[in-house]
Structure 1
Amino acid sequence: MLRRPRLGEPRRRLSLRDLQRAGAPGVTVLLLTLLACAARAPTQTGKASWYGDELRGNPTASGEPFRPSKRTAAHKTLPFGTVVKVTRTDTGESVRVVINDRGPYAKGRVIDLSERAAKRIDMIDEGVVTVEIRVVGCKERYERCD
């Protein structure tokens, strides 16, 4: 039987053994819960811009040096380490990025992408495009993303 962690107890990943112990009903409930959460994942639509070489090596708000060659992004409120799928609303092109910085600070913008991420959705020439952002996960190296 899977148990809920106690207050202050460190989180741990579920193992295959945990799922086997839970039995078929437990696995079914777990899968249905995951599907329901994915369906309700919050989205945000707005303008995206990008930043590149001019800030290479400068510290991001998370403390990491900025690397234009990585698929990262700046968002005003999402926790560092959050993985988001950024989709252009006009072409459907998408890229997954990790939030590691704060911004954008230009009015009307919801996310700033690294140069590599911007190239992936073919927005370098336009500079600013309309996108939909959907939270899809969390990077392990960050302490928490929730």
Structure 2
Amino acid sequence: MASDQTLKLISATPSPFARMNRIAMTLKGIPFELQNEIPWESNTQTPKYNPLEKLPVLLFPDNRPPVYDSAHIQEYIIQKYADREPKLLTGDIDLDLQARQMQVLSEGLMDAFVLGFFESRREESKRSVERPAMFDLKEAVV
């Protein structure tokens, strides 16, 4: 695939997970089309591309298999477009490991927030009684 062909990123507008992918693609000047989906609606296309029915999903114009999960999409962007500025990682293994650790922590916190948000929208009688300990974190060690 030529690197200048337009990719398609399927995302939910408020999704913090796809935001890093959109930012990376924009910074690197990668042409992409953003398709907004609401994965829990009946007309969603999400299951067609991701068996986990989660967003974001990156689609290719040559119809090869999609890439899903924001971390995997980000890794694809970093490797495929390594020659394009700006560099998203330093190339120093220790610094890059630290950056990826922050990414893992951030995604874990976003997962917890999203799950907490949906849990709070359930009828009170159906909500989980126990609150996960991670919601009591005062600060994160990075």
Answer yes or no: same fold by TM over 0.5.
no
- When Rg is computed on C-alpha atoms for both structures, the one with the higher figure is 1
| Between structures 1 and 2, the one with greater strand share | 1
TM-score, structure 2 as length reference = 0.23
Larger relative contact order (C-alpha < 8 A, sep ≥ 6)?
1
| Between structures 1 and 2, the one with greater helix share | 2
